[in-house]
Each structure stands twice: as C-alpha cells, then as structure tokens.
Amino acid sequence: MAENEKEIKYIMSDLFDRNDYFDMITLSVLTAKDDLNYINILLDEKKEDTFLSVFILKLSLGIAKNAHMLAYQIFKNESYINKLKSMNNWKEIEGKYKELVECNGGNGTDSFSFKVLNEIRNQAFHYSYKKPDLDNISKIVEELKNDQLTIKISNEGQTCYSMDVIFINYMNKVWKEYVGDDINNESTQIRCLFNKIKEITILTANLFNLIIIGYFSTFTNFEETWADSSIKLTNLWRNSTINFDDNFKNISDLDSEILDGSGLYCIRLKENSSLPERYQNILDKREFKYLYIGKATTTLRSRLNEELEHLGPGTFFRSIGCVLGFTPMPGHLAGLANQNNYRFSDDDKMRIIDWLNDNIEVSIVKYEGDFNIEAELIEKYCPLLNSTHNPKKLQELKDDRRECRRIARGELNIL
C-alpha cells in the first residue's frame, strides 16, 4: 500500500442503500471497473502463445460488451443522469462518456459494440446446444468451409485439436465487414481489432472510475472518517431524502401553510383499510405500502384538489376510481381532442371522494428544489398506482385504465 493511502473498512449499508437503484447500479460500476482494469493488464502482457492471447481476447470481449452496455443504460436513464449531474465532477463524466460514444461510432446499429463486439462475443465461450444456436454455427461453418482445423494425434492415441484458428478467421471476417477493405494484412486486422477493444475498455474503465469518484464525493465527511474511522458516513443525497412517514394525516388535517406552497405528496391506506382483493394482494407483498407519490410545482392545495376531489385531471383520482371498480361516463370523450382524461359521473365521483376521506391518509412535504426527485422517489418506493418511472408498474392497472378510456370514448359498451 502506498504511503499516501489508508485502508478503512466501511459498513456496506453506510455506503449503499439497497432500496436505491442508483446505489445498486454503482455497485455494478465498481465491479465492472475492477474487471476492466484486470483485463487491460492481461491485454498489455505479451504472450508467446498465440492461442493464449486469443483466449484473453475472448475474455475481454464479454467484459467489454457488458461494461459498455452498463454505461449505455446508465446514460439512457433520466433519474441516473440527474444523480450524475449532481456530482461535483459531472463535466468530466459527461466528457468521458462522449469520448466513449465517439470511439464506439455512436450508439446505433452501425456502432462497433453492436456490429463487432456483440457478433463476436456471441461465439466466444458459447457452447451451443439449442437448435437456433446450432443453426448459427452452421452458417459460420459454411462461411469458413475452406478453413483448416488442426488435429494432432499422439502415439498414445490421444487427440488434441484447436478451434481457435477458425475463431480467429471468424473475427477477421466480422472485423473486415465493419472496417471495409482498407485493411489487407491479416495480422494487422487482428491487431487493429485488439487495439480497438483495448481502447473501448480503457475509456469505459476511466468513465466508471469518474462515476465512482463522483459517487463517493456525495459523502460529505470522508476526511473525518479517515481521521476517525468510528465516525458514521454522511451522504448528501440521503440527508436530503424526503421523509413521508412522519407526516401522514387525514385529508382534513393537512397543514394549511404547507398546502399553500410547492412540494411533494404521498398517499397510503389508513390502518385497517384495504383495496379490492385483486389489488390488495399485490400491495400486501410490497416492501413499501405507498399508493401514490406526486409533485406540486405550484401549490399542493391545487394539486390535491385534482387528485382527491377531481377538480381537474388528477391521475391518482382516475386510477383509484377504476381500482375501486367505478367506470367513467360512457362516450363522454367521443370527438374531443383529449381522449385520455376520463371522468366519472357526479354520483360516482362523490362515492370515490367519500371512500378516499374514509380510507386514505396523505403526507405532504414542503419542497422547492429540483422536482426530478419525484422520479427518484417513485423508482425507490414503487408506489402501487404510479406508472411513470415505476420499475414495478402494474399491468393490471394499465389494463383497467385502458378499459375505462375505451368506455369514455364510446368504444366499449358496458350494458
């Protein structure tokens, strides 16, 4: 260990929140970074044995492919990007990802990762036994039917053969299709492919290293813990996490001052209340029992008037209405520009409002920051009736709401 290094053992739960998907994907980044660093060391070492070099190249294909896909998925996810943007080295992270995308030739179907890494990786360490896979091998054999397979037979009758020559030729073929006819020398082709994979792995490892540095920068007291390892880590994000559980109240008892400002709200069932069995069975299996989380960028009062009294197009009100078995007024959306915001009859609307007053409680939190936090909260807590940003969104709710829209459009006769 270097003189300027110190080893400190942290409690896993202090570093990573298992209920936070970004924390979990950061663990994947940590693992991938280590693997990329190790494979880069192996790729740098000169091997006398050509086939050992091919074996290491095969290993690098899988690691490079999966690591690049991890990077792509992170930058495809809005809530993950918002977390990255809050890091103090976001500009470096963004710049390194752009380098990686440029090196890869973009992120489309013409990119290096798609046309070369995926294609070759599908054959490396792929011991096929399913018919579709065997059919693919059959196509490769046809393409390389004039290649030679080396077989050695010893005096003892033992056999030794190598498929690596065929695999090398196959890599040559895929690589040449990708780069065109600019490269003619066979060894140079493999060397260029080798160098391209190495370039991708180095860029991805550097990107992941920046993400990890940024992640640990969100802990505000690392220097203190270095001086005294008994001090508990303090995380910037977790300290600012919205706490709903201490604020649940009956609708009529909500704080008027908080209602008149912007904020976030969470809805759950009261103790001893329940949903219809079809939905209650699902809720009972959930770790968190929230029904819905939302944001109010103007005032919580106006937003909750929409959600709890249907004075506007409240998403929660429409959802809870169909969950409770109510149907909208038949055909009332027919011919209108908006074909989605169905409404219930006045009598049904009052029945739903009465049910809400009797069976739910609401937590409201004053909030004036970045409202992208709503997506993070939904992703973390997976409220039963949220769909957008929810990794556990319900197909049952999607189907019931679709049926309500069809009734409201006059497409479905409920008589």
Question: What's the domain count of the chain?
Answer: 2
For residue range 76-120, list pLDDT tens digits in order. Answer: 987 788 788 878 899 999 999 999 999 999 998 889 999 888 888
Is the pLDDT assigned to residue 140 strictly greater than 60? Answer: yes
Q: For position 244, what pLDDT does the model report? A: 85
| Residue 56 belongs to some domain of the structure | yes
Is the same domain home to 258 and 217?
Answer: no
| Residue 150 belongs to some domain of the structure | yes
Is the same domain home to 258 and 348?
Answer: yes
Q: What angle do CA 292, 267, 272 make, to 5 degrees?
A: 120
Q: For position 69, what pLDDT does the model report? A: 92
| Residue 302 belongs to some domain of the structure | yes
| Residue 236 belongs to some domain of the structure | no
Q: What is the three-state SS of the chain?
A: CCCCCCCCCCCHHHHCCCCCHHHHHHHHHHHHHHHHHHHHHHHHCCCCCHHHHHHHHHHHHHHHHHHHHHHHHHHHCHHHHHHHHCCCCHHHHHHHHHHHHHHHCCCCCCCHHHHHHHHHHCCCCCCCCCHHHHHHHHHHHHHCCCCCCEEEECCCCCEEEECHHHHHHHHHHHHHHHHCCCCCCHHHHHHHHHHHHHHHHHHHHHHHHHHHHHHHCCECCHHHHHHCCCCCCCEHHHHCCCCCCCCCECHHHCCHHHHCCCEEEEEEECCCCCCCHHHHHHHHCCCCCEEEEEEECCCHHHHHHHHHHCCCCCHHHHHHHHHCCCCCCCCCCCCCCCCCCCCCCHHHHHHHHHHHHHHEEEEEEECCCCCCHHHHHHHHHCCCCCCCCCCCCCHHHHHHHHHHHHHHCCCCCCC
Is the pLDDT assigned to residue 158 strictly greater than 60? Answer: no
Can you name the residues that pair with 269 across neighbouring β-strands? 360
Distance, CA of 346 to CA of 344 (rounded, Å): 6
Q: For position 57, what pLDDT does the model report? A: 81
Is the same domain home to 220 and 368?
Answer: no
Compute CA 283 distance to the chain's CA centroid, rounded to the nearest angstrom.
23
Q: For position 8, what pLDDT does the model report? A: 64
| Residue 238 belongs to some domain of the structure | no
Length of the chain measured in residues: 415
Is the same domain home to 169 and 313?
Answer: no
Is the same domain home to 265 and 322?
Answer: yes
Q: What confidence tier does 52 reach under pLDDT thresholds 50, 70, 90?
A: confident
Is the same domain home to 145 and 83?
Answer: yes
Range of weakest confidence among 186-190, 324-328, 367-371: 186-190
Q: What angle do CA 346, 347, 353 make, to 5 degrees?
A: 85
Is the same domain home to 260 and 201?
Answer: no
Show Cβ contacts of residue 96 under 8 Å, excluding neighbours closer than 6 positions: 203, 206, 207, 210
Of 200, 251, 240, nearest in space to 218 by CA = 240
Is the same domain home to 260 and 168?
Answer: no
Q: What share of the chain in percent tops pLDDT 90?
A: 41
Q: What confidence tier does 187 reach under pLDDT thresholds 50, 70, 90?
A: very low
Q: For position 229, what pLDDT does the model report? A: 62
Is the pLDDT assigned to residue 167 strictly greater than 60? Answer: yes
Calculate mean pLDDT across residues 61-87. Answer: 88
397 touches 385 (CB < 8 A): yes
Distance, CA of 291 to CA of 311 (rounded, Å): 20
Is the same domain home to 194 and 256?
Answer: no
| Residue 296 belongs to some domain of the structure | yes
Q: For position 264, what pLDDT does the model report? A: 93
Is the same domain home to 297 and 353?
Answer: yes
For residue range 38-50, list pLDDT tens digits in order. Answer: 988 888 877 666 6
Q: For position 119, what pLDDT does the model report? A: 81
Calculate mean pLDDT across residues 246-256. Answer: 90
Q: For position 89, what pLDDT does the model report? A: 92
Is the pLDDT assigned to residue 409 strictly greater than 80? Answer: yes
Is the same domain home to 189 and 311?
Answer: no
For residue range 278-330, list pLDDT tens digits in order. Answer: 999 999 999 889 999 999 999 999 999 999 988 877 899 999 999 999 998 89
219 touches 234 (CB < 8 A): yes
Distance, CA of 15 to CA of 20 (rounded, Å): 11
Q: How many CB atoms lie within 10 A of CB 386?
A: 26
| Residue 232 belongs to some domain of the structure | no
38 touches 64 (CB < 8 A): no
Q: For position 21, what pLDDT does the model report? A: 79
Domain end call among 206, 224, 242 = 224
Domain that holds residue 26: 12-224
Is the same domain home to 276 and 190?
Answer: no
- Looking at every residue in the chain, the average pLDDT score rounds to 83
| Residue 316 belongs to some domain of the structure | yes
